[in-house]
């Protein structure tokens, strides 16, 4: 076992590990890559330790969770760093500076986990409110300190903790949903993006209440649709459909399995003055695609933005088959010389695999086409080059003949 570095516990990389990856910015240590000293083994999930290479050279300060396959996450390159309110404020100030430079209004992802130097932590901002997703043990344990720093840096008055989802289970964390600063909004929060109005339910919606990541892809869709008709499948609160209406589409059909999400979509269309151009359908997406084909309906643009079909490597093959099936069922609904947009938020499915599955599906749907554009998340979702998971979103646009 290793000795202590200063007065802190130590986690040491095994000889066959690759410490240069950590030195070059990779932020994770997996359980089979490390040796823990006795003090580190006794740490509660989220405790701090010094990470050393096999020659006992310090690499930085990490947060440790023995209950997770990701046993350590790099917090700071300085092994003597202190993770306190001042440290949190500095990280938040840096994250805010980027968003404030890019966006005119305070509606964006403020913190995108490792890419903003706050591993496992997601914060979405909705004007005077913010929603924290503490998906790592350290963030869950320090959520009050994070909220205090968040209020100090941004001036938000309401902070919601939405501790739900698969990531927390992998960390051994239980679910939680609570307002820890201010009061819960008494109505969905209106959010304007690309001329559309979206209603975000910060307590009852999916994840933080709204997905900011597709914003640039909504804008690209607006350039394609003109006055045409749009089908938005897996629409959530109206994502691409409302963007299309804001761009001048004559009609948008939003399909989702959630009645509350579709109600919010209708509310957004009403706020935009476009309620008469929106149609909604509550249905399983695959059944909806089949029934629309049976009705011989056609759309100038069809968009399918499903949940993560391949959230992990073991689910990859089944996930790719599901993406192929989506493309196969959606392609026949596209009018001649129309457009098909297919999306994946599965980090386990890389761009090439997803593109190949989509192309196979289009072919098996009896259509041919060309790939015209690849979209990704906006700059409020920065990508850490060393960690593919931070660049999870892929949106492919095809023109079909």
Angstrom distance (rounded) from CA 80 to CA 8: 9
For helices 85-102 and 143-154, the axis angle rounded to 10 degrees is: 50
CA 76 to chain centre: 23
For residue 381, count other CB atoms closer than 10 A to its CB. Answer: 23
**Residue 65 dihedral angles phi and psi, to the nearest 5°:** -140, 95
Half-sphere CA count of 46, side-chain side, radius 13 A: 18
**289's tokens:** 């695609």
Q: CA 271 → CA 76, 203, 267, distances in Å?
A: 45, 21, 6
- Does residue 345 have an active-site annotation? yes
Q: CA 294 → CA 152, 290, 367, distances in Å?
A: 56, 6, 17
> Which stretches of 194-297 are assigned E, i.e. beta strand?
196-200, 229-233, 251-256, 278-282
Angstrom distance (rounded) from CA 167 to CA 398: 32
Angstrom distance (rounded) from CA 175 to CA 319: 25
Angstrom distance (rounded) from CA 7 to CA 164: 35
Q: Which of 254, 304, 343, 345 is catalytic?
A: 345
**Starting at the edge strand that comes first in sequence, how are the strands of the sheet with 129-134 ordered?**
107-112, 121-126, 129-134, 158-163, 176-181
Q: Which residues are catalytic?
A: 345
């Amino acid at each position: 076992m290793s000795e202590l570095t200063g007065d802190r516990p130590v986690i040491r990389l095994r000889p066959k590990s690759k410490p240069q990856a950590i030195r070059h910015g990779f932020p994770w240590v997996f359980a089979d890559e490390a040796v823990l000293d006795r003090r580190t083994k006794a740490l509660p999930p989220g405790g701090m330790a010094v990470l050393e290479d096999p020659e006992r050279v310090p690499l930085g300060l990490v947060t440790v969770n023995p209950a997770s396959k990701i046993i350590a996450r790099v917090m700071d390159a300085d092994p003597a760093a202190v993770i306190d309110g001042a440290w949190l404020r500095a990280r938040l100030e840096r994250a805010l500076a980027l968003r404030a430079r890019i966006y005119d209004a305070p509606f964006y992802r403020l913190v995108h986990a490792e890419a903003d130097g706050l591993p496992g932590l997601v914060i979405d901002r909705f004007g005077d409110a913010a929603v924290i997703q503490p998906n790592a043990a350290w963030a869950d344990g320090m959520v009050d300190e994070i909220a205090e720093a968040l209020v100090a840096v941004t001036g938000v008055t309401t902070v919601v903790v939405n501790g739900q989802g698969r990531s927390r289970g992998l960390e051994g964390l239980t679910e939680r949903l609570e307002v820890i600063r201010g009061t819960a909004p008494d109505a969905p929060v209106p959010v304007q993006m690309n001329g559309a109005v979206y209603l975000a339910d910060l307590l009852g919606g999916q994840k933080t209440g709204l997905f900011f990541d597709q914003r640039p892809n909504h804008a690209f869709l607006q350039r394609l649709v003109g006055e045409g008709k749009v089908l938005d499948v897996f629409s959530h609160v109206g994502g691409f459909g409302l963007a299309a209406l804001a761009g001048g589409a004559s009609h948008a059909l939003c399909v989702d399995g959630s009645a509350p999400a579709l109600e919010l979509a209708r509310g957004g269309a009403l706020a935009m003055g476009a309620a008469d151009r929106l149609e909604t359908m509550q249905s399983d997406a695959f059944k909806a695609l089949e029934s629309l084909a049976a009705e011989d309906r056609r759309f100038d643009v069809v968009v399918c933005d499903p949940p993560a079909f391949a959230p992990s490597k073991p689910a990859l093959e089944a996930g790719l088959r599901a993406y192929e099936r989506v493309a196969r069922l959606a392609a026949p609904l596209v009018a001649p010389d129309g457009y098909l947009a297919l999306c994946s938020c599965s980090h386990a499915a890389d761009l090439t695999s997803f593109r190949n599955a989509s192309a196979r599906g289009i072919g098996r749907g009896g259509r041919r086409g060309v790939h015209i554009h690849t979209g990704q998340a906006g700059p409020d979702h920065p990508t850490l080059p060393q960690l593919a998971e931070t660049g999870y979103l892929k949106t492919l646009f095809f023109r079909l003949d």
